[in-house]
Amino acid sequence: MNDNNEIKNIKLSQQGDISAFEELIYSYQQKIFNIAYYKTQDQNLSEDVTQEVIIRIFKKIRTFKFQSSFSSWVYRITCNIINDVIKKLKPSFEISIEDVR
């Protein structure tokens, strides 16, 4: 997607155009998943994170002010959600000495 088309789709998405939002997200969905997978090394968790990021973008797209690139904004949202998920799951990632014996 070229920059002009992306800007157009962002502006249309901010006005509630679902088709523009779908086109915009289509170009980012795999990148979001790849970042999540790199950080979590878990396919299912990465899919969940990707869905959560898309929902967050949908809810917050009207707050995007074009002060940074859209890709940077998406990346920040992705990292924030990954961090939240890891914090919630951290106890399950810890292995006690008893588990090793």
Domains of the chain: which residue ranges? 3-94
Task: Count CA atoms within 13 Å of residue 31 on its CB side.
Answer: 15
**pLDDT tens digit string along 41-78?**
999 999 999 999 999 999 999 999 999 999 999 999 99
Question: What CATH number belongs to 3-94?
Answer: 1.10.1740.10
Per-residue pLDDT tens for 9-42?
A: 999 999 999 999 999 999 999 999 999 999 989 9
Residue 7, CA distances (Å) to 1, 3, 36, 52, 70 in order: 10, 6, 25, 23, 9
